[in-house]
Chains A and B, each alone.
Chain A
Amino acid sequence: MGIRGIGNTKEQSFAMAATALTTIITDLDKVKHKIPVTISCDAPDDELLLVDWLNALIYEMATRKMLFSRFKVEISGQHLEATAVGEKVNVIHHQPAVEVKGATYTDLRVAQDTDGRWLAQCVVDV
């Protein structure tokens, strides 16, 4: 499934891409923002950084059995620091539709459009 984040800054576009990731699994408004998890990653370029960010989230979701609904992202060069906030998965409440396996390089793009807005997108494997 393709996910896309658009924002006024690169960081916002990464945060919105993460939001889109959650919406693949469940309705965003079903996920309370109670438990923070910090994530950091480094990559050789913006596009690999997006993939690494999303894969770090996927890893945290899988190992903590959590879903996330709020994201604060800071990017400095090719280094990302973020806080993802969410709650433990409740199958009855969240009714997760699908499990995300990983972010791919298909349709991978991080770029600033002519209007100055940032786009961050890729396909994730489910």
Chain B
Amino acid sequence: MDVSKLLRQSNYIWQIEPFGNMHVPAVIYASEALIHDMDDKVYQQVTNVATLPGIVSASYAMPDAHWGYGFPIGGVAAFEPDHGGVISAGGVGFDISCGVRNLHTGLDFHDIMTVQKKLADALYRDIPAGVGSTGRIHLDSQAMDEMLSRGAQWAVDKGYGTSEDLERIEEYGCMKDAKPAQVSALAKKRQQDEMGTLGSGNHYLEVQHVVEIFDEEIASVFEIKQDDIVVAIHCGSRGLGHQIGTEFLRTMAIAASQYGIALPDRELACAPVNSPVGQDYLGAMRAAINCALANRQIITHLVRETFAKIFPQTTLPLLYDVSHNTCKVENHIIDGKPRELYIHRKGATRAFGPGHPDVPAAFHDSGQPVLIGGTMGSSSYILVGTQESMSLSFGSACHGAGRSMSRHQAHRQWQGRQLIDQLASQGIMIRSPSYRGVAEEAPGAYKDVSAVVDAAHQAKLAHKVARLEPVICIKG
């Protein structure tokens, strides 16, 4: 992206003044170097979002912004229903409530390295992942609707985890006002065999090593320290979420004109919040959030079982679970007044700061953990939400690093087998059913997550706490 098209507000804040049909400015949080590397379509998409009805304050892009479907990935936008505000299926994405959760292990680097291969093989065997995989749980119609209504709370009631886990999940594990009746039969059928599965592509389960602490005080609150081993689970709402995204994108694209919405891009398909389509999507999307939360909860249980076979004393308590493809109703202060807004975070993570009522008691004084996933072979980060982010980005931060090359290019540049061997020589054990899949996920195919996280830190969207490196990576 040509930085001369932007107004520099600071080294990490760039603005595009409204032009054409934009109702509000666009704001991009990034270093100048990251701006240079951003594709031009981010400019187009972040300004397109600013044209949508009822948008409040600005259309935001996070430091990891790259082109998406309508909204940029790394896009944040808030809408007010009383001013014709919309809800957009494209503003949430196909993988509704894709997210990351981190589990403590109580183990250190040395503990893991003595059993690295055994643990990698066990996790690969025990955690269903990839195309064709099937979960252990098959839901009938009633169970499906209960799961969609209650999310991780349902999973805990079924014996997957403990009530203590719920305290450490956004929405305490259950997105309220979900409407299973708005989820189609096709979506439910697509999910029937997929509960407790990891998916594929950029999803993963990683055993990670804490290699650097940036803030000892917050790290202490999060109960992490140098050399700790943490488990990270990155996945979302699986087939159900994908199907809901597919169906409502179509419905909204067709219905937009009847609501008087001129879409600059069909992918920005949306409907007024206060419309039947908008309400139907809201109910279905919330059900999909619950599906993702339940899914990660079941996988957590499976991971705990696997670890217990090798480390019988471990319990793997949950640090936190964040989602990064959602639309949530939140209260934010705008011009000194509280307003109820519909916050779209598309490839962006909630990053609430200290004192926010939605942050669990354990993190009340610190702010919530913000978990930023790296890629296979690269660093992941733990950050903490800031007070500043509430006014900068509706309490939002980045979610990872986008791709720097296509899957096709990555497949031509790297050989999966060689990559696995190379990463193994660096102490990282990869397990995947597909060499081609590994090649497409090569660390070099992604942007530098450290640069993205530094920019988020410098822009005060979130504050760095720790850096982690993978030791074991399970891919689907």
Which residues in A have some Cβ–Cβ distance to B below 8 Å? 1, 24-25, 44, 48, 51-52, 55, 58-59, 62-63, 65, 88-92, 94-99, 101-106, 108, 123, 125-126
Contact = CB atoms under 8 A, between A and B. Distances in A.
Contact of B249 (A24, A44, A62, A105): A105
Contacts of A91: 130-133, 433
B132 A65 contact: yes
A51 B251 CA distance: 13
B95 A101 contact: yes
Contact of B69 (A59, A65, A96, A106): A106
Contact of B130 (A24, A55, A99): A99
Central interface residue in B93, B406, B433, by most chain A CB within 10 Å: B433
B101 to A, nearest CB: 20
A1 B267 contact: no
Central interface residue in B189, B242, B267, B435, by most chain A CB within 10 Å: B242
B473 to A, nearest CB: 16
Contact of B200 (A59, A99, A108): A99
Contacts of B267: 104-106
22 contacts: A1-B406, A1-B407, A24-B407, A25-B131, A48-B250, A62-B190, A89-B132, A91-B132, A95-B435, A97-B407, A97-B440, A98-B201, A101-B95, A105-B69, A105-B70, A105-B267, A106-B267, A123-B69, A125-B93, A125-B95, A126-B201, A126-B407
A98 B406 CA distance: 13
Interface in B213-271: 239, 242-243, 245-246, 249-250, 253-254, 265-267, 269
Nearest to A123: B69
B124 to A, nearest CB: 12
Nearest to A89: B132
B407 A98 contact: yes
Contacts of A59: 186, 190, 243
10 closest pairs, A vs B, by CB? A89-B132, A96-B131, A97-B437, A101-B242, A97-B436, A102-B246, A95-B434, A105-B266, A101-B94, A99-B200
B245 A102 contact: yes
B402 interface: no
Contact of A44 (B69, B201, B254): B254
Interface size class of B (residues with CB under 8 A): 35 or more
B132 A101 contact: no
Nearest to B67: A106
B395 interface: no
Contact of A89 (B70, B131, B186, B245): B131
Interface in B19-45: none
A62 B239 contact: yes
A96 B434 contact: yes
Contacts of B132: 65, 88-91, 94, 96
A104 B242 CA distance: 11
A58 B186 CA distance: 12
Nearest to A124: B94
Interface string B122-160: 000000001111100000000000000000000000000
Given A95-B436, A98-B201, A108-B266, A63 B245 contact: no
Contacts of A24: 407
A99 B476 contact: yes
B376 to A, nearest CB: 13
A95 B250 contact: no
Interface string B72-103: 00000000000000000000011100000000
A98 B437 contact: yes
A120 B249 CA distance: 19
Contact of A63 (B93, B189, B411, B440): B189
Contacts of B250: 48, 51-52
B433 A125 contact: no
A97 B243 CA distance: 20
B69 A125 contact: yes
Contacts of A44: 254
A90 B95 CA distance: 25
Contacts of A123: 69
A122 to B, nearest CB: 10
A121 to B, nearest CB: 14
Contact of A96 (B94, B130, B190, B249): B130
Nearest to B68: A106
A91 B197 CA distance: 15
Nearest to A67: B131
Contacts of B94: 101-102, 104, 125
B408 interface: yes
A1 B269 CA distance: 20
A105 B200 contact: no
B199 interface: yes
Given A48-B250, A62-B239, 8 more contacts: A48-B254, A89-B131, A91-B433, A95-B436, A98-B200, A98-B434, A102-B245, A105-B253
B82 to A, nearest CB: 29
Contacts of B440: 97-98
A25 B131 CA distance: 9
A83 B97 CA distance: 34
Nearest to B187: A59
A95 B433 contact: yes
B199 to A, nearest CB: 6
A105 B245 CA distance: 12
Interface string B407-448: 110010000000000000000000001111100100000000
